[in-house]
Structure formats: C-alpha cells, structure tokens
C-alpha cells in the first residue's frame, strides 16, 4: 500500500513539473526585457547551402548531399 502511495506521489509531482515547464515560453525577464533566445530566430542559411551544393556539382568526385541538419543562421527577430 505504501509503495502505491509513493508511486502516485512521484507521478503526480512529475506531471505538475512537466506542466509548469510548458507554460514558460513567452515570459519577460526581471527587468521587462525579452530573453536573449527571443531576440533572435534561426533560418536556413541558403547561401551556405548553395555554395556546398555548387561545390558538389563541380567536384570530380561523385558526391550527393542529403541535408539532415541543414546549416542555420541567426537573425534578429522583428519586434511585435
């Protein structure tokens, strides 16, 4: 019986912590400014991708590129 109570308590606490973590996406810092992660966004770095693919086409080797984690660049987010 004690084991069931402990398991229930641990699962309840885990669910509460998980729910608390999912509600913290758009909060402000203590001084009212945006967090550093909200000041920037990441976009595909098309120039870098084109350069890599061009190098593959002009290479004497038989190279095929498959982008699993394409290169990203950090750009400033627009203020709303």
Reported as a single tens digit per residue, the pLDDT across 20-61 is 655 555 555 566 666 666 788 899 999 999 999 999 999 888
Given this model, what pLDDT does residue 4 score? 80
Predicted confidence at residue 36, as pLDDT, reads 65
Q: How far apart are CA 69 and CA 37, in angstroms?
A: 20
Delimit the domains of the chain by residue range.
41-80
Residues forming a β-bridge with 75 = 41
């Amino acid at each position: 019986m004690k084991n069931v109570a402990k398991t229930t308590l641990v699962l309840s606490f885990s669910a509460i912590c998980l729910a608390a973590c999912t509600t913290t996406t758009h909060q402000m810092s203590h001084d009212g400014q945006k967090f550093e992660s909200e000041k920037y966004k990441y976009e595909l770095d098309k120039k870098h991708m084109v350069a890599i693919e061009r190098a593959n086409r002009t290479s004497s080797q038989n190279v095929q590129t498959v982008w699993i984690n394409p290169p990203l660049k950090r750009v400033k987010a627009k203020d709303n």
